[in-house]
Structure 1
């Protein structure tokens, strides 16, 4: 496949994952920092966050874009639990919440060992019902995406919420700024981005951990690096390829960590998710805008 202004091909395998004739569609413009896209397949709707504007947005193929929730308490990352309920990370409330079917908000986590969380950022749900989230300090380092204050935790951790007891456990505590996270399709490995290079001289990389049956993590190691900007949100396709946000677009990595290619986006990409009836439409949040593009891959996330 010949190079195009839309794609940067690093490995011939990338050609089997992209649609050469597909267009990058700008579905909405008007955010200050778009983030946290989550697809509701049963409703044919995408929800995403516009953090500095303290609102959540909704997009559907038939209805276009509209405001879903305002004020949002500076919600960042979103996902769904096994019952289809919306799980959100609030910078403003420094907590992880669940939106019930009737619209009520249930707090799932707001502290650890008696101290307030920093500002939960991104969240995923495992098939056992456990909820995993990252807790960097982006929501408390200024008033732009939350409320400026000092960290009570002192560290920036990855946490697991037990599906039965609701107990919160810090499973990794040595990140500079843990950000996006996702499980491999078979859920045997957890991948976590470290975006600390935005403020520190550290690598722009994603780490990977083995996941034991009891939910504990082990064998943490390096998986891949981003060569433009910082790794933020990412998702897997069913073949185990990792699609990650970056400064110049979306980077696609093979299961062995090799960069296959890039989808070039005119704005800095923050996050992405697979959606549409066949989960072959990549929805991309990028600074001011929501984009989409069809690919030949199918997303592995649930529900």
Structure 2
């Protein structure tokens, strides 16, 4: 299967639909009140996806790129409102990362790999195996320091025929990996029940990883935090935050070091110590989120069928 790079339009240019203000907003700290209030409008940017995921802001292209895992599309939203395909079809791409050289890295459920693509080119596999065993189904990915890629590898994409292809795992673990691009070295950094979303603190000294086996009948539904050494090794793993409803799926960290994590009913906002600053109740179940826009104050939120946004004051 080759990617069809036709840029099919999925939404014409036009203003977003305002879903209304947020009466379900909970603010626990005046610091959050300075950023967000009950009059902040919730914006609907796009609807019609099947399982939206993997949002990443492309500053150079001035666009938001995200995946529709089940419909097998990689899409782009532009500030004038239009949406078009970037890769169509995909191999069930989930998470995405944009690298400084313009390369995009993707987590593929279908080929069970990390692939890379360049503008106007198809995605090609980069990382497929660890110590002779095929990866499970890479889920989320971020760019790290020293030209590295960090990604999670749970089994979700090989347990659901809607999100990939049914298969038995070839590895006895579900892990977080670090890939050093210059040396093409893949290192297994940590094992969790089902590692899912991940993000670094602004200083790069902390890595947050959501562990979400509850999604397939397990027990874990929390974010774990790791200390990151200068050489990239992880230590001092500790529980950071547990959600009551659903799982902490995708997450984003802002310039303050606050963590914005999705859950079944909305977005939890936490400070760097794990203290809840507030909660944004949403009308749709979110899957992931990221910051972007010209001033990096817009929170983009992917849901199964919708792409939402909130503009923060600061």
Q: TM-score range by the shorter chain?
A: over 0.9
Compute the displacement of 1:260 (Å): 0.9
1:130/1:163 contact within 8 Å kept = yes
Structure 2 counterpart of 1:252: 269
Structure 2 counterpart of 1:153: 171
Compute the displacement of 1:101 (Å): 4.2
The number of aligned residues is: 294
1:82/1:127 contact within 8 Å kept = no
1-structure distance, mates of 2:78, 2:124: 26
2:102/2:118 contact within 8 Å kept = no
Candidates 207, 213, 221, aligned match of 2:230 = 213
Q: Deviations over 1:117-149 (max 9, x none)?
A: 000000001131110000001110021100011
Compute the displacement of 1:286 (Å): 0.9
Over 3 Å counting, the alpha-carbon distance change for 1:4 and 1:146 in structure 2 is closer
Structure 2 counterpart of 1:280: 297
| Residue 42 in structure 1 maps to residue 57 in structure 2 | no
1-structure distance, mates of 2:218, 2:78: 40
| Residue 192 in structure 1 maps to residue 209 in structure 2 | yes
Compute the displacement of 1:30 (Å): 0.8
Candidates 252, 272, 291, aligned match of 1:235 = 252
Compute the displacement of 1:22 (Å): 2.1
Structure 1 counterpart of 2:141: 123
Comparing 252-261 and 15-24, the one that deviates more: 15-24
Structure 1 counterpart of 2:39: 21
Structure 1 counterpart of 2:287: 270
2:51/2:69 contact within 8 Å kept = yes
2-structure distance, mates of 1:36, 1:107: 18
Compute the displacement of 1:201 (Å): 4.4
Compute the displacement of 1:193 (Å): 0.4
2-structure distance, mates of 1:154, 1:216: 21
1-structure distance, mates of 2:68, 2:238: 32
- Identify unmatched segments of 5+ residues in structure 1: 298-303
RMSD in angstroms over aligned alpha carbons? 1.5
1-structure distance, mates of 2:251, 2:22: 23
Q: Deviations over 1:195-244 (max 9, x none)?
A: 11122342411001111111111111111111221011111111110001
1:82/1:129 contact within 8 Å kept = no
Structure 2 counterpart of 1:79: 97
2-structure distance, mates of 1:166, 1:282: 33
1-structure distance, mates of 2:171, 2:34: 45
Structure 1 counterpart of 2:189: 171
Structure 1 counterpart of 2:312: 295
Structure 2 counterpart of 1:61: 79
| Residue 100 in structure 1 maps to residue 114 in structure 2 | no
Compute the displacement of 1:102 (Å): 4.9
1:19/1:294 contact within 8 Å kept = no
Over 3 Å counting, the alpha-carbon distance change for 1:283 and 1:120 in structure 2 is same
1:253/1:261 contact within 8 Å kept = yes
Task: Normalising by structure 1, report the TM-score.
Answer: 0.93
Over 3 Å counting, the alpha-carbon distance change for 1:245 and 1:60 in structure 2 is same
Q: Deviations over 1:82-135 (max 9, x none)?
A: 213211101111011111245143422110000100000000011311100000
2-structure distance, mates of 1:242, 1:20: 20
Comparing 113-122 and 219-228, the one that deviates more: 219-228
Task: Normalising by structure 2, report the TM-score.
Answer: 0.90
Candidates 90, 102, 112, aligned match of 2:108 = 90
SS at match of 2:158: coil
